[in-house]
Amino acid sequence: MPDDAPSSLYLIYLRSPRHSLRVSEFAGMRQLDEGLYVLRSDQSRSKVYHAIKRAAQPAGLLVAPLADDPKFMGMAPGALAWLRGA
């Protein structure tokens, strides 16, 4: 993607990963709940999918682009503030 390409927001769900997903290894990622993450990235959905698949080797994986910030409650402390850019 070009340097000026806008970032996308992805919702990621992992089921039964063989390896823990280290949020620190993915710039722009935040864990919302067990197996549930959001990622802000300039990478395509395909690149994000394959990077997560290689890193965690989950039994199930969902990577879905979001058109806007999701609404949620009861997720990991600080997740909503992170999403809002605070």
Number of domains observed in the structure of the chain: 1
**Residue 78 is assigned to a structural domain of this protein:** no
**Residue 2 is assigned to a structural domain of this protein:** no
**Residue 17 is assigned to a structural domain of this protein:** yes
For the record, the structure tokens of 67 come out as: 């058109």
Quote the CA–CA distance of 82 and 77 in Å, as a whole number. 10
Residue 37: strand pairing partners = 12, 31
Non-local CB neighbours of 5 within 8 Å, separated by 6+ positions: 42
The domain containing residue 58 runs over which residues? 8-69
**Residue 86 is assigned to a structural domain of this protein:** no
Kindly report, residue by residue over 14-70, the tens digit of the pLDDT: 999 999 988 889 999 999 999 999 999 999 999 999 999 999 999 999 999 999 888
**Residue 64 carries which side chain, given as an amino acid letter?**
A
Greater model confidence, 39 or 71: 39
Q: Measure CA of the first residue to CA of the last residue in the chain; give whole Å.
A: 26
Cα-to-chain-centroid distance, residue 57:
15
Which CATH number characterizes residue 43's domain? 3.30.70
**Residue 83 is assigned to a structural domain of this protein:** no
